[in-house]
Amino acid sequence: MSFDLKPHRLSGTIQHYAWGAKGEQALIARLLKITPENDKPYAELWIGAHPKAPSHLIYQGKSYSLDTILSKYPRLVLGEEVVDKFGITLPFLLKILSAQEPLSIQVHPDKQQARLLNQYDPQNYPDSNHKPEIALVLDELECLAGFRPANELRMLLSDYPAIASVLSGHEFIDISDDRQFVRELWQHSLTTFQNQPLIIDQTLKDLARQQNNDSAIDDANVQFFLQMQRQGHAPDFGLLLILFLQYWHLYKSDALFIPAGVLHAYIRGNIVECMTNSDNVIRAGLTTKFKDYQALATVTNPEAQPSIVLPRIHNGKKTYQIAAEEFRLAEIELNEKKYLTINRGEVRIILVLEGEIRISWAGGEELYTSGESILLPAALDKVKISTKHSARFCMVEVEGN
């Protein structure tokens, strides 16, 4: 029997990581209209076909994981071009991420690095795929991402000579080439921490004691460093990196692209996150999770930077294009006078963020409300998306088609 060519509701998987939002702050619980359990964090909602946590759908009265459906009906669901290019897999993964506490400072490998890490240590790197990602802000987001400009780092070492001293002296400040300066700072920082972690720890404690009584600190990195140091995270390489990375404060509909090699950490806020179908992470600090400093040294590119992605806007649709052929993310706002028409040809996933949408196709129509996610199979003929009042949703499709 052929797969039903209609929109299919997807049931995503909630990840209860310790840093997730709890109680009244639990955005994921509110969207899914469930009562959050006491003191239980609601960190991420995964929507896709990743083997770690595939979404499910109801087909012929039974619940099937999305990866099972793809294996049975690949060309109907994914489309000819996606199967030919990426194989029998959904090439992207969509998430809602809701952080109440900081995540690990982390970095993602490129394709070649991911394959080598998977061969070298499949237990800690079960994915052989790279993980470029884009974060679309739902309300606000604070995060660290990419090294600060060289002039800011020089000023930091000048203002806090204890840090420069423990990192083999003041010679960093005298390097005139900005790129070389940042590379040397990164390499010496990692080497010093690996060889003398307690010295780094003591230096950071001394710095914290010097600054704790200063109410006039206007450097967001130093403020965050002091906050984390008070919480007892030392000794931790992540505490030192807080001082070196750019501090971002983003707002609704801002989008940040994080390519391979960029150290980053989400601190707090709510985002829609889209990435390749991967969970490939190398951690540097701020949490107790597994850290691999050899991989960190190989994968981190201190010259690589995140970037703000400005959308292409057309008729209420904001399309965020990045350098990743596996996906393209769009945010759409509709009212009673606007609608969106989608033609067949490629797989799409929709996530309703606000309001209620109506999806109409040749075989019928259905209503979907905030928190629901929908699979649009590639072979489904033209569909129309509309609303009676107002609605906001995001849609992911494959960029490489």
pLDDT digits (tens, 9 = 90+) for 309-325: 999 998 889 999 998 99
Does one domain contain both 127 and 16?
yes
pLDDT, one tens digit per residue, over 270-289 is 999 999 999 999 999 998 88
- Identify the band that residue 169 occupies on the pLDDT scale cut at 50, 70 and 90: low
φ, ψ of residue 238 to 5 degrees: the values are -60, -35
42 and 122 fall within a common domain:
yes
Same-domain status, 268 and 193: no
Do 269 and 292 reside in the same domain of the chain? yes
Which entry of 148, 154, 283, 392 is annotated as an active-site residue?
283
161 in a domain, yes or no? yes
> Average pLDDT in the 297-314 region?
96
Average pLDDT over residues 235-245: 89
Residue 217: its pLDDT value, please? 63
Q: Are residues 219 and 304 in the same domain?
A: no
Of the candidates 284, 308, 332, which is a domain's last residue? Answer: 308
126: left (phi over 0), alpha (psi -120 to 50) or beta: alpha
The pTM of this model reads 0.94
Centroid of chain to Cα 226: 25
What is the pLDDT, as a whole number, of residue 47? 98
Whether 2 maps to a domain, the answer reads no
Range of the domain at 182: 149-243
**313 lies in some domain:** no
Between 162 and 350, whose confidence is greater? 350
Q: Residue 209 — pLDDT band, cuts 50, 70, 90?
A: confident
Bridge pairing between strands 390-397 and 328-335: antiparallel
Same domain for 73 and 130:
yes
Model confidence at 303, pLDDT cuts 50, 70, 90, reads very high
Q: Are both 41 and 140 inside the same structural domain?
A: yes
pLDDT in tens, 90-141: 999 999 999 999 999 999 999 999 999 999 999 999 889 999 999 999 999 9
330 shares its domain with 281? no
| Domain boundary pick from 279, 308, 337 | 308
Do 337 and 221 share a domain, yes or no? no
Residue 3 lies in a domain: no
Residue 212: pLDDT band (50, 70, 90) is low
Q: What is the mean pLDDT of the chain?
A: 91
Of the three residues 243, 274, 297, the one that is the final residue of a domain is 243
Indicate the DSSP class of residue 296.
H
Residues 188-192 have a mean pLDDT of 90
- Whether 363 is in a domain gets the answer yes
Domain count, the chain: 3
pLDDT of the residue at 160: 80
Confidence of residue 172 (pLDDT cuts 50, 70, 90): low
For residues 5-18, give the mean pLDDT: 96
Per-residue pLDDT at 401? 54
Instruction: Kindly report the backbone phi and psi dihedral angles of residue 314, in degrees, each rounded to the nearest multiple of 5, phi listed first.
Output: -150, 115
pLDDT grade for 210, boundaries at 50, 70 and 90: confident
Chain-centroid distance, C-alpha 151: 28
How far is residue 45 from each of residues 17, 20, 167, 222, 224, measured CA to CA in Å?
11, 11, 40, 32, 27
| Dist CA 203 CA 316 (whole Å) | 52
Is 212 contained in some domain? yes
State which amino acid sits at residue 347: V
Same domain, residue pair 78 and 196: no
Domain CATH number, residue 322: 2.60.120.10
Are 289 and 19 in contact by the 8 Å Cβ rule? The answer is: no
Token pair listed for 225:
């460093």
DSSP-derived secondary structure letter, 130: -
| Domain co-membership, 77 together with 179 | no
Whole-Å CA distances, 354 to 30, 36, 315, 372: 11, 19, 18, 10
Say whether 283 is catalytic: yes
Does residue 271 belong to any structural domain of this protein?
yes
Are 41 and 100 spatial neighbours (Cβ–Cβ below 8 Å)?
A: yes
Pair (141, 163) in one structural domain: no
> Is pLDDT above 60 for 216?
no
What pLDDT digit, counting tens, does each position of 20-31 carry? 999 999 999 999
CA 116 to each of CA 223, 281, 324: distance values in angstroms, whole numbers, following the listed order: 38, 14, 20
